[in-house]
Structure 1
Amino acid sequence: MDVDGDGAPTAGARRTPSALRRAEERGETLDQLLDRNLAELLQELRVAFTGVQVLFAFLLGLAFTQRFADLDEFALTVYTVTLLATALATVLLIAPVSYHRLVFRRRLKASLIVVADRMLVTGLALLVLAISSGVLLVLDVALGRGPGVVGGALVLLVAGVTWYALPVWARRTPPAGDPGPPGGEDRAAG
């Protein structure tokens, strides 16, 4: 393993000449590649974490409102799923900070980037679940079960397409005029 299709290092990035080659193709040293990948990852975490913070705060406060006692079994189940998905997304989106702190100055930046990337992708998947089930809950209470299910499903579908299907499609489709990765490597293999 070396770097993925986006140039992000994988588990063995420090040891493989391929990672160094990819860095050099961009005019970077391996350390510069790792630093750039870490900076990009941190920026993505900042964006994702803002959304999960707002949703989590709303959900924590919701249980203490008067109308909460009026929720039926379905709404309580949806609330529970939403709360747990949001809590787990929060944990996964904060986890790279703890990981970084515990491996700081141990020359494990490549490992940090790989692990943090996986945590971010998983945290985003949980955030999609949390957002769509949160919409389901609010619309169920405000408009009824039917509109709630339609709204929640619509959010889930749009998020699934824009957050996952579209990027996966883009990884597999080389840009116009791009002959593909050097050496005929499969772009999606990273």
Structure 2
Amino acid sequence: MESPADEQRKGRNESEDERADRMWGDLIQEVRVAQTGVQILFGFLLTVVFMPKFGQLEQTNQTIYIVTVLLGAAATGALIGPVSLHRMVSGRRVKPQAVRWASRLTFVGLVLLLATMTAALLLILRVATDDDGYVPWLVTAVVAWYLVCWFGVPMLTRRRHRAQ
């Protein structure tokens, strides 16, 4: 009988289609989390322009807002893209290819979500504080934290797993 370590080294005994089915399920669960966050953020962003204070914002802050909305729209599109992709190719026996494309869309969506959250944080902190001198440092610290959590830890885990 094989030990769990031997089984782990060999990987799963599954066909390409079974692997694609499993990976698709995993991907959709991940996308659900990101979709919810980006949709709430994007919905909130869409309301800001209709608030009375928006017209009183400096031109720079209005520009940051417009960029943030565009980034949010792009992130929403990328993170909803896998659902549309699956619906349009379902039953055509291309699930392994669909999983690869959906994974790419999800990654792009996460990068765009990172950019959206960065721009939104920059805008909010610029409006909420009078000291623009430290705002870029705060935003940089939060972005660094996002990069560690979203990309650094996964890449480190991936590299360490590959080395064993």
Paired residue for 1:171?
A: 158
The count of corresponding residues between Structure 1 and Structure 2 is 155
The one of 129, 137, 153 aligned to 1:143: 129
Unpaired runs of 5+ residues, structure 1, are: 1-21, 181-190
Deviation string, structure 1 residues 101-151 (Cα, Å, up to 9, x no partner): 211100010011000000000100010111111111111111132343233
Which has a greater percent of helix? Answer: 2
Paired residue for 1:61?
A: 47
Unpaired runs of 5+ residues, structure 2, are: 1-7
Paired residue for 2:81?
A: 95
In 2, the alpha carbon distance for the partners of 1:147 and 1:68 equals 23
TM-score, length basis structure 2 = 0.87
In 2, the alpha carbon distance for the partners of 1:116 and 1:98 equals 9
In 2, the alpha carbon distance for the partners of 1:161 and 1:25 equals 28
Deviation at 1:168, TM superposition (A): 1.6
- Whether the 8 Å contact between 1:89 and 1:126 is mirrored in structure 2 is yes
Q: Percentage identity across aligned positions?
A: 39
Which is further off, 62-71 or 25-34?
25-34
Higher relative contact order (CA 8 A, sep 6+): 2
Structure 1 residue ranges (4+ consecutive) displaced by more than 3 angstroms after TM superposition: none
In 2, the alpha carbon distance for the partners of 1:98 and 1:125 equals 20
| Residue identity opposite 2:142 in structure 1 | V
Paired residue for 2:106?
A: 120
- Whether the 8 Å contact between 1:96 and 1:119 is mirrored in structure 2 is yes
Structure 1 residues 136 and 122: alpha-carbon distance in aligned structure 2, compared to 1, 3 A threshold:
same
Q: Please, what is the CA RMSD of the aligned residues?
A: 1.9
Deviation string, structure 1 residues 53-72 (Cα, Å, up to 9, x no partner): 11101110000000100111
| Residue identity opposite 1:111 in structure 2 | Q
Secondary structure at 2:93 match in 1: coil
